[in-house]
Structure 1
């Protein structure tokens, strides 16, 4: 009997179950590891479900702000109770249309990646009779950490190259409708160990201070990114950062001594650390077959349900592992989904319960981040999985993303299956 068998019987499969108590615990752990007074942005790309985002906003001074990169994520943030002025709008390809919508709805802080980007934000802000704050995203020429997903130190669509920023400053200062308000650096994702993460943050702080002084660049807000680790589709726990606070405070005191009084404000951002461990994907076995001596377990959740960003070149390939009973018999096999493609693969030759048969349930842990909205959701026209949220073991809401074809452009809708706190 799996942990969520009753929910699967009630709602069907495939089914995502999110534990809001786990979300609150992750938020508490991360704020505790960061310097006092630091701000924390939740990266909506990890999971834009409004109830998850709402749980992260709660907590008073230790509530998250929103990092968004589309008008769809802005809509989700507003639904979750975030104010538009709390949002940081990022992304290298902001269009005139989406800027009009974002600024018209009250967004005032943007991370910008080029002179054109700054000018475009300014032109739209001026058209609305307001001034927008621009953080300059910096692509550092070098880096500290050598592991994890690199986001800096190479040619990129993200950010101003640090070595040529001085050449761009005259144009940036002349841009109408904007105020240069600080910097945004995001050098890596999913750092493999605390020392690597700290080293990257220390390098980032030193670089920001040096650029600010050399270029006379105002530094009201400094967002130094994230990189906090959490497992993805496999058993395990979030990263632990016992030394992070002290080391960061030392670096900030050395390079930006006014930070304790808010000059500058220091911000971090996180997605998977905050919501990854809160999610479990429950899927039902459709068939078990042997092909030329190999065992295949076919389930009703495939890469259309848990795709590992498969629509984005599978930057985070699916390679799941299950939490198994300590003394239960196991047998290796390949876990696959129901789609008509050999690419619908969740785990190749992994340990699986030996007695699995059609109708049994399989639970994939740590699937709260990069799940539904990072998958090939519309591939083969299968319905989206249901998403159920729990607090203290009780159902808060149950909903499913629905797609509609229309002659007029419409965003995706979320159909509420069971009323609850969902706004």
Structure 2
């Protein structure tokens, strides 16, 4: 829907459209895109990781407007549909993931996607088989699981046994087979070693190490790289107050590393790319929830809201994303309380003993920096509660208000492939 209203304040929108409500500000999203391109050497491409937030209005804004456009990094046919709806051409889509099925590969290639991240020799063979069926050749980035890393991060993606990537120490032995898979051409490498780097020094250390590893892998493969995706790790607070990280030293450090290991990179050999999800959309979002009840149990206060892990923080079971913080007006009285959701499970906790205003049933609370890993990474269907509403605002105007619907449909026998 398209609408106009006199205010785009999150709490005013929540009163109008109900809670829980996400409000995404496209102006902040565009600022993040501008900043990220600004931290990088000229010519770098940026792939937006749809898993952070596939909302069509957000992903459309990342490829439109002033400045360089983001490309799309996806790993499902659902994300593919969102990318296509938002106007991303197949040529601007990188399809990733360790478990690509024949059906989704067929759909992706049939939709014009030609660039894939291959996680193993067999994954490469599956991509090649699908491309051959379509009478085409897929450009493949070999995802590499580097044996070593240079930084300690909140989410480590390399250096251990994993479903992600080809172990770097096996590339030389596998190279002849990798080069000969029908329906594929090795276009480059995909290395993603971390998420949410702790600081600029850690990010620089990891990305420059990645460049060094990529140069060695290029030698092992015996193939000149056309595209090198060095991953990401750009940091933004998650559901806590704070600002996106700044990276004033990154450009010079990356340029220096590339000059050493890929001396023709300034001429586009290879093209360079990073990928980012939360950095681009994280601080664009605010979650507004309404307090349903307040109770005390054995001396501890619990604020029960209508937003739980079915709305936000479903990934909190991984033990690395919460607690949240809520907005507190200057000078307001505060207290310690646990912010919990409405679900019938003790795991429905958004924050344990956090600082909150003195709240009563009916009050609204704001959780900041919730533009990434919100509804689509939560337990949306658990206990059958409605999905939260999602409002998009831009330049002081309301762009859209939508809600994800849960619909059960019947399958015909031919739909199941049986």
Q: TM-score, normalised by structure 1?
A: 0.94
- The answer to whether residue 90 in structure 2 is matched with residue 84 in structure 1 is yes
1:33 positional shift: 0.1
2:53 aligned residue (36, 40, 47) = 47
Asked if residue 361 in structure 1 is aligned to residue 364 in structure 2, the reply is: yes
Per-residue CA distance 1:361-420 (angstroms, 9 max, x = gap): 0000000000000000000000100000000121001111111111128xxxxxxxxxxx
Q: Which residue of 1 aligns with 2:192?
A: 186
* 1:30 aligned onto 2:36: yes
Q: Distance in 1 between matches of 2:13 and 2:66?
A: 32
1:133–1:180 contact (8 Å) kept in structure 2:
yes
Residues 1:406 and 1:63: Cα distance change in structure 2 (over 3 Å):
same
Deviations 1:234-255 (A, max 9, x none): 1011111010001101111111
Contact 1:285 1:357 (8 Å CA) reproduced? yes
Rounded to whole Å, the distance in 1 between the matches of 2:253 and 2:176 is: 35
1:125 to 128, 131, 140: 131
The answer on 1:58 being equivalent to 2:68 is: no
SS of the residue aligned with 1:229?
A: coil
Q: What is the match of residue 68 of structure 1?
A: 74
How many aligned positions are there? 405
State the match for 2:355 in structure 1: 351
Q: Show the counterpart of 1:164.
A: 170
Residue among 316, 332, 335 paired with 1:331: 335
Aligned equivalent of 2:22, options 16, 38, 42: 16
Indicate if the aligned counterparts of 1:308 and 1:318 stay in contact, CA closer than 8 A. no
- Residue from 170, 176, 180 that aligns with 1:174: 180
SS in 2 for 1:62: coil
Displacement of 1:290 after TM fit? 1.2
Task: Give the distance between the partners of 1:314 and 1:149, measured in 2 at CA.
Answer: 10
**1:60 Cα deviation (Å)?**
5.9
Separation in 2, partners of 1:349, 1:140: 39
Aligned to 1:298, what secondary structure does the other structure show? strand
User: How far, CA to CA, are the matches of 2:396 and 2:300 in structure 1?
Assistant: 39
- The question of 1:208 aligning with 2:214 is answered yes
CA contact (8 A) 1:308 1:315 kept: no
Once the two structures are TM-superposed, the CA of residue 213 in structure 1 deviates from its matched residue by 2.3
Higher relative contact order (CA 8 A, sep 6+): 2
Report how far residue 61 of structure 1 moved.
Answer: 5.7
1:382 aligns with 2:388: no
Contact 1:318–1:345 (CA under 8 A) maintained in structure 2 = no
Conserved 8 A contact 2:154-2:320: no
Asked if 2 retains the 8 angstrom alpha-carbon contact of 1:308 and 1:317, the reply is no
Is residue 260 from structure 1 mapped to residue 266 from structure 2 by the alignment? yes
Q: CA RMSD in A?
A: 1.3
Indicate whether 1:303 and 2:303 are aligned.
no
Q: Residues of 2 paired with 1:264 and 1:121: CA distance?
A: 22
Match of 1:242 in 2: 248
Q: Contact 2:44–2:273 at 8 Å: present in 1 too?
A: yes
Q: 2:300 aligns with which of 278, 281, 294?
A: 294
Do structure 1's residue 341 and structure 2's residue 342 form an aligned pair?
no
Partners of 2:71 and 2:35 lie apart in 1 by: 16
User: 1:371 is matched with which residue: 370, 374, 377?
Assistant: 374
| 1:292-318 per-position Cα deviation (integer Å, ceiling 9, x unaligned) | 2111111100000002425xx435443
CA distance in 1, matches of 2:389, 2:234: 28
Scaled by the length of structure 2, the TM-score of the pair is 0.95
Return closer, same or farther for 1:250/1:86 CA change in 2, 3 Å cut-off: same
Unmatched segments (≥5 aa) in structure 1: 410-423
Unmatched tracts of structure 2, length 5 or more: 1-7, 413-418
